[in-house]
Amino acid sequence: MRPIIAPSVLASDFANLQSEVEMLNKSQADWLHIDIMDGRFVPNISFGFPVMEAIKKYAQKPMDVHLMIVEPELYIERFREAGAETITVHIEACNHLHRTIQQIKATGAKAGVAVNPHTSVQLLDDVIEDLDLVCLMSVNPGFGGQKFIQNTYRKIEALKNLIISRNSNALIEIDGGVNENNAPQLLQKGADVLVAGSFVFSSADPIQTIANLKKSSI
């Protein structure tokens, strides 16, 4: 099966956001990955609702919103109104994860949970059946362009086993340091969705780079 490709808009040229989004519309990208950083959960600030609404104005593909923020439960409805198709919260940022997942689903959005490199996927044991997506961070969140963490392969296997054993429909998304070289092995271990930021946007031909990622196979 072909992977779902979700280029991260974080790595795009914000001064030309409209043309960047139009490029993604033309490409084989399946989703637009939207990284929201608050300067609290992660040591960086990206952008918020006004920029997301500007992206939505031109985007013809679903927005996959990755919330790297504390107290995400305060903003779920607003992110849905701003056009999120999938809303992913960090397990490390949620004291009441089960409630937050139900809150996301109540808006009609798909519910995702992201786990940092140090967080065991076994902590998802009691919610995996409720999830549409698990985002495995393959870098420490906060910045694009970081080096892929090799331990991610092992985590994909463990997560895949958990998903199968519990009959969950959750997709496995890999976020951070994804490129053409590691994509085949990520897919072979069981990844469904590949997020790619700098690899796509720093390439000479992003449309072709997205097509190459889409062609990656096991």
Which residue out of 30, 64, 132, 175 is catalytically annotated? Answer: 175
Q: In angstroms, what CA-CA distances link 166 with 16, 109, 157, 159?
A: 44, 22, 14, 11
CB closer to Zn ion out of 51 and 167? 51
Binding mask 15-34 for ligand DX5 (x = CB under 6 A): ------------------x-
- Residue 100 binds ligand DX5 (CB under 6 A): no
175 a catalytic residue: yes
Rounded distance between C-alpha atoms, residue 35 and residue 144, angstroms: 10
- Given the structure tokens 């086993």, which residue do they identify? 161
Residue 142's binding partner out of Zn ion, ligand DX5, none, with CB under 5 to 8 Å set by partner kind: ligand DX5
Min dist. Cβ of residue 90 to Zn ion (A): 10
Nearest to 95 by CA among 66, 68, 63, 73: 73
Q: Which of residues 45-74 bind Zn ion (CB under 5 A)?
A: 66
Q: Name the site residues for ligand DX5 (rule: CB under 6 A).
A: 8, 10-11, 33, 35, 66, 139, 141-146, 175-178, 195-199
